[in-house]
Amino acid sequence: MSFVLRPEAQRDRIEIVLVSPRNPLNIGAAARAMANFGFSRLAVVAPYAPHWREARSAVGAPQLLESAVETAALADAVANCTLVVGTGTLTYRKPKQKVVALPNLAPLVQRELACGGRLALVFGPENHGLTREDLSLCHLLVEIPTDPRQPSMNLGQAVAVCLYELATRAFPPDDSAIEVVSEPAAVATEEQSPAASSGDLELLARVVEEAMIAADYSPSSMLAANRHDLRLLLRRLVPNRRDTRRILGLFRRILWRLKRVPKGN
């Protein structure tokens, strides 16, 4: 049985994001793996080497490196995505979001794409993987099954393994491709409104945080911890686009009122 990566429009809604990669050769290897499995959207966040686009390891994929997006922060790279999936091992971390084994990722990807969403598959730097702050922007964490004696993988290899899994499971062969397509997002009901993008959730989190500060919710020393927990909470709730806008309007009104109340009253 041969697997056909189609429709192309769905593959174009999957972003591969490399956070602070240190070795250009690994970036090139990741680009080559993307080309192998038909993915073309690459974002590189704060790369260590300035000349990473010249990586010779991107055999057959130099144009992919040329068209890759470079951003200073992960939040910018995933702003348009409705499902952000971090990757990594559980050996040295205790994630606070849902953990999914790689073989179980495909159904989630199918569902998100069928609803008209966009997916980001995020890989951390070679030396330590995704940070706690990076993971706060992720809806879930996917774990590649590995031997516990050697849990970490080379960046290029990790990208290749994940994309192979999506290529062979998330996109069915010709005779069943129609099963991936479900009700178009354009006719979604109120309850089926498309999920809020990561950028929308970040905007909401900032406004809620401002309201918390204006209300003296907690000491300033808790600011970073509150921001982290708030990001995770919003992603666990998975509000749709309409609800996110309504909540945003509510907190903007609360913030406006709080700023009008004199201190000490």
Kindly report the backbone phi and psi dihedral angles of residue 100, in degrees, each rounded to the nearest multiple of 5, phi listed first. Answer: -125, 130
More confident residue, 29 or 7: 29
Residue 182 clears pLDDT 50, i.e. is over it: no
The amino acid sitting at 12 is D
Rounded to whole angstroms, the Cα distance separating 254 from 45 reads 35
Lowest pLDDT segment from 4-13, 52-61, 154-163: 4-13
Q: What single DSSP character describes residue 240?
A: B
Residue 49 clears pLDDT 90, i.e. is over it: no
Give the count of alpha carbons within 13 A of 108, CB side only: 20
- The answer to whether the CB of 55 falls within 8 A of the CB of 25 is yes
For residue 99, count CB atoms less than 10 angstroms from its CB and return exposed for 0-12, middle for 13-18, buried for 19 or more: middle
Q: Which of 73-82, 141-150, 169-178, 189-198 is most confident?
A: 73-82
Predicted pLDDT of residue 180: 38
Q: What percent of the chain has pLDDT over 90?
A: 60
Predicted pLDDT of residue 181: 37
Q: What percent of the chain has pLDDT over 70?
A: 87
Predicted pLDDT of residue 263: 67
Residue 250 clears pLDDT 80, i.e. is over it: yes
Predicted pLDDT of residue 174: 45
And the tokens for 51? 């000349």
Residue 93 clears pLDDT 90, i.e. is over it: no
Rounded to whole angstroms, the Cα distance separating 86 from 139 reads 8
Q: What is the mean pLDDT of residues 224-238?
A: 94
Rounded to whole angstroms, the Cα distance separating 27 from 56 reads 10
Predicted pLDDT of residue 264: 61
Rounded to whole angstroms, the Cα distance separating 139 from 130 reads 14
Residue 127 clears pLDDT 90, i.e. is over it: no
- The answer to whether the CB of 228 falls within 8 A of the CB of 234 is no
